[in-house]
Structure 1
Amino acid sequence: MGSEIDDITDRPARPSVGKAIFSGASGLFRCAVDFVYPPVCAGCGVMIGRHGALCPTCWQSVHFIERPFCDVLGIPFAFDHEAGEGGRLVSAKAIADPPRYDRLRAVAIHDGVARRLVHGLKYRDRTELAIMMAAWMQRSGAEHLVQCDGILPVPLHWTRFARRKFNQSAELTRHLAKLSGKPLLPSTLKRVKRTSRQVGLTAKGRQDNVRAAFAIVPGHESDVFGKRLVLVDDVHTTGATVSSAAAALKRAGAAEVTVLTFALAISGPI
């Protein structure tokens, strides 16, 4: 009898009938969804093999930011640079005008397909793009996401949030928190100043527009003090907004602030 019991317990467990039915139903549901909403390229709309991806043409046209780049501003160098003190590569721009944050990392240059993805998420309510974009951002900021104590978005003022109904930076942050397993801090930082839209303003105008625009929500000081944080935004242009947000975090005692964006606008010499 003992040997018969041992023989039975050594057999691999059979999948339950319910699980098999559920798996089959899920597969049929996915097929039905793909039939009604076939997967298309997120960049140009041509039909492709799966959702949340780019066609080969769009993929090849994205200007991904790879090393060598400035360790502070994240801007790529046009040619190889020799590492400076401590093995860091720092651009002349970062030396001349250090930002309020510790470093910035971005996925791609803000042009072409990358620009269309940013605009699709931000202005056309294509929140499904945030999943793909966040996965790319995780790769670009992997080293600092692993080391951080929390991830938080650049917040919208409540009046703008009420009109837009969602915050594109918060969407990216939510998916990044899931991918990285790091604490999501959606209510730690708030925008206390109702700023004008940054589009069309000069660099000085953008700085003036967002000066003292952010503050720590009362009761959330412990989220920031002594912590290494990753601040998430969709696109970095002049850096005025993230600099103001980073300044608020630093005043509250943040040990380190890494800015992680999907796209980086570059103008002028590097």
Structure 2
Amino acid sequence: MDDGGQGRTNGARGIAARLAAQVSGLLFPPQCAGCGREVADPGTVCGRCWSHLRFIDRPYCAVMGTPFAHDLGENFLSAEAIADPPPFRRARAAVIHDGIPRRMIVGLKYHDQTNLAPWMAKWMVRAGGEMIADCDVIVPVPLHPLRFWSRRFNQAAELARAVARISEKPLEPEALIRVKRTRQQVGLLATERQRNVSGAFRVPQGEEIKVRGRNILLVDDVYTTGATVKAATRALMRARAASVDVLTFSRVLPDM
């Protein structure tokens, strides 16, 4: 086929794709991720729900990213960071895990609403811009193969893929694997969470080159006690990563 014929074929495909999108939009109009109202674009929230979102902005702990009520200085650390220093360098989250963000996580994680991931990732990029600029590679927190088989996708990988696409940073989804089938963390106490994920992660043989000497951005959906990302960070550091930063969509505050 000559270039003109190829161009006409591509043009026809483009028109067909736009028509299909328009028909889909008429039959299944996008709904607000928070309340279900009709919105202009899939994965977005309406104005009313937007006003209830609690974004995490400065001032916050330089290490944990925990928000402060008052500005205590650029490098001021939270009691958590001082009493129990984490293995990662910094942690940041886009929003507080309450209300709408919690529903978005549940929709992505348990109801196959993967269309939410690109929109959630935009908020994450805003929150983690400094860490993204510093990282060499993005790595998602992995699922155990059996859990991946039952869910069919990994929500952390969906978020990491979208963050990598927006930031134009390399994504290495195979650089870290989960070798221990852990219990669900929901409902466990902090100490139980730590025991549950202890030794759960490993950098597989042959993948060390993707980690060694590199600044890693570890991506997950929600930061609760930090047990999961701490265990994953230790596995990456054992593989001689230069540093690990943690970026999540939402954060459960210690007093929630």
TM-score by length of 1: 0.88
Aligned partner of 2:27 among 3, 14, 36: 36
| Equivalent-residue separation in structure 2 for 1:110 and 1:124 (angstroms) | 18
Query: What is the match of residue 5 of structure 1?
Result: none
| Equivalent-residue separation in structure 2 for 1:191 and 1:170 (angstroms) | 13
Aligned partner of 1:179 among 134, 154, 166: 166
Q: Alpha-carbon deviations, 1:232-270, whole Å to 9, x = none? A: 00001010000000011111111110100000001239x
After the TM superposition, which residues 68-79 of structure 1 pair with which residues of structure 2 at under 5 Å, given as runs?
68-79=59-70
Query: What is the match of residue 59 of structure 1?
Result: 50
Query: What is the match of residue 206 of structure 1?
Result: 193
Secondary structure of the equivalent of 1:94?
Answer: helix
CA deviation after TM superposition for structure 1 residue 89, in Å: 2.7
| Equivalent-residue separation in structure 1 for 2:51 and 2:71 (angstroms) | 22
Q: Alpha-carbon deviations, 1:94-124, whole Å to 9, x = none? A: 0111111111010000001011001111111
Question: 2:201, 2:231 within 8 Å by CA — same for their partners in 1?
Answer: yes
Aligned partner of 1:241 among 228, 232, 235: 228
1:48 aligns with 2:39: yes
Question: 2:42, 2:116 within 8 Å by CA — same for their partners in 1?
Answer: no
Aligned partner of 1:150 among 137, 143, 146: 137
Query: What is the match of residue 4 of structure 2?
Result: none
Secondary structure of the equivalent of 1:159?
Answer: helix
| Equivalent-residue separation in structure 1 for 2:46 and 2:174 (angstroms) | 37
| Equivalent-residue separation in structure 2 for 1:46 and 1:267 (angstroms) | 32
| Equivalent-residue separation in structure 2 for 1:24 and 1:206 (angstroms) | 51
Letter in 2 for 1:220: E
Query: What is the match of residue 3 of structure 2?
Result: none
Query: What is the match of residue 104 of structure 2?
Result: 117
Give the 3 Å change call, closer, same or farther, for CA 218–29 of structure 1 in structure 2: same
Aligned partner of 1:129 among 102, 116, 119: 116
Question: 2:109, 2:155 within 8 Å by CA — same for their partners in 1?
Answer: yes
User: Is the radius of gyration larger for structure 1 or structure 2?
Assistant: 1
Give the 3 Å change call, closer, same or farther, for CA 165–19 of structure 1 in structure 2: closer
CA deviation after TM superposition for structure 1 residue 92, in Å: 1.9
TM-score by length of 2: 0.92
Report percent identity of matched pairs.
50
Question: 2:56, 2:96 within 8 Å by CA — same for their partners in 1?
Answer: yes
1:139 aligns with 2:130: no
Aligned partner of 1:80 among 50, 71, 91: 71
Q: Alpha-carbon deviations, 1:175-208, whole Å to 9, x = none? A: 1111111111011101111111111111001001
Q: Alpha-carbon deviations, 1:127-169, whole Å to 9, x = none? A: 1111111111111111211221100110111111111111110
Query: What is the match of residue 218 of structure 1?
Result: 205
| Equivalent-residue separation in structure 1 for 2:224 and 2:96 (angstroms) | 10
Question: 2:64, 2:91 within 8 Å by CA — same for their partners in 1?
Answer: yes
| Equivalent-residue separation in structure 2 for 1:123 and 1:263 (angstroms) | 16
Tell me how large the CA RMSD over aligned residues is: 1.7
